[in-house]
Amino acid sequence: MPELPEMETYRGLLHQQICGAAITAATVQREKTINVPPAQFVQTVQGNRLTLIERRAKHLLFHLQSGHVLLLHLMLGGFLYLGTAEDKLARTAQVTLSFGERILYFHGLRLGYLHLLTPDQIDERMASLGPEPLEPGFTLDRFLELLAEKRGVLKTTLVDQHWIAGIGNCYSDEICFHAGILPTRRIPELTAGERARLYHSMQTVLTEAIRFGGYMDQPLYRGDRLTGGFDERCQVYDRGGEPCPRCGQPIEKGELSSRKVFACTNCQH
């Protein structure tokens, strides 16, 4: 599932490619992907101009000139492709938005959604999300305050979107590996030093993942050399059985609360 770095990569690239352009056409192939009747969706967005693209947690927010906002959550298996009718992928798109000859294809939204909302509805949807881990106000002191309130397992806490927004399966494991802490540790057991390391690892891993375009393997558009560049830099996630890059011991794959978890039980403590 795309996480904060993947969605931030999409946001930055789409801002460069289509922000400020008018939506010249729209199609809906799967009605359940949207939250209004298809005719209403098309009538509202067609002719509207895209004024701003924001990211919040694992969501993208496409702000339209009319004041409406398209709220995207890709969930599991969703991805975007920006191309033309000639170079489109051999995949069904649940929704398309055309910007002249260029078309933004929304693929794999069987679980995800693209909802047309008002600003008040957006505020209501986003209200329960936790703070952004890379925002300037998210200091070490703030992190320690939030951590002091938790009693559960570290990985389960890191992926809780109501606690901190944007981290999922991949980056929770990568952050724990960088910090040298097992993701199965209980939070009350963490020392002051481990808590500080965890914060700095969160900043380092997420910033690096954005810099290298996240781990999505499908380029956003033809010639896109950024998207997916972090995949080969993942240290433990989805690397069960491979040697640990720090100590050489095989990385172990386990399960925690129905989530995959990857760690080195030799050099993470």
At 1 the three-state DSSP class reads coil
| 101 contact partners, CB below 8 Å, separation of at least 6 | 84, 85
Query: What's the distance, CA 91 to chain centroid?
Result: 22
Catalytic entry in 2, 133, 183, 219: 2
- In this structure, the answer to whether residues 192 and 215 fall within a common structural domain is yes
Say which DSSP state 244 is in: P
* 252 counts as catalytic: no
Boundary of a domain, candidates 102, 125, 148 = 125
**Cβ count near 165 (within 10 Å):** 21
58 is catalytic: yes
Check: CB of residue 79 under 8 Å from CB of residue 60.
no
Instruction: Output the pLDDT for position 89.
Output: 95
Among 11, 56, 58, 239, the active-site one is 58
174 touches 260 (CB < 8 A): no
Domain contains 268: no
Among the listed residues 30, 150, 253, 259, the single catalytic one is 259
CA dist., res. 211 & res. 213, Å (int): 6
Q: What is the largest CA-CA distance in the chain?
A: 58
In the listed set 82, 104, 125, which residue is the last one of a domain according to the structure?
Answer: 125
Mean of pLDDT values over 170-193: 98
Q: pLDDT-derived band of residue 109, with 50, 70 and 90 as boundaries?
A: very high
Burial 181-207 (b: 16+ CB within 10 A, else e): bbbbbebeebeeebbebbbebbbebbe
Does 144 lie in the same domain as 118?
Answer: no
How far is the C-alpha of 3 from the C-alpha of 206, rounded, in Å? 10
Task: Say if 266 falls within a structural domain.
Answer: no
Here the CATH number for the domain that contains residue 12 is 3.20.190.10
Average pLDDT of span 132-150 = 97
6 is catalytic: no
Q: Is 125 a known active-site residue?
A: no
CATH number at 178 reads 1.10.8.50
Do 112 and 187 belong to one domain? Answer: no
CB 95 within 8 A of CB 29: yes
Q: What is the mean pLDDT of residues 162-171?
A: 97
d(CA 122, CA 120): 5
The residue range of the domain holding 65 is 2-125
Instruction: Give the tens place of pLDDT for each residue, 34-62.
Output: 999 999 999 999 999 999 999 999 999 99
- pTM score of the predicted model: 0.96
Query: pLDDT over 90 for what percent of the chain?
Result: 98
Does one domain contain both 251 and 143? yes
- pLDDT reported for residue 222: 95
Residue 1 pLDDT: 86
Task: Assess if residue 132 is contained within a domain.
Answer: no
Q: Which residue, of 125, 148, 165, is where some domain finishes? A: 125
The answer to whether 78 touches 48, Cβ cutoff 8 Å, is no
**Number of domains, the chain:** 2
Q: Render pLDDT for 218-234 as a digit per residue (tens, 0 to 9).
A: 999 999 999 999 999 99
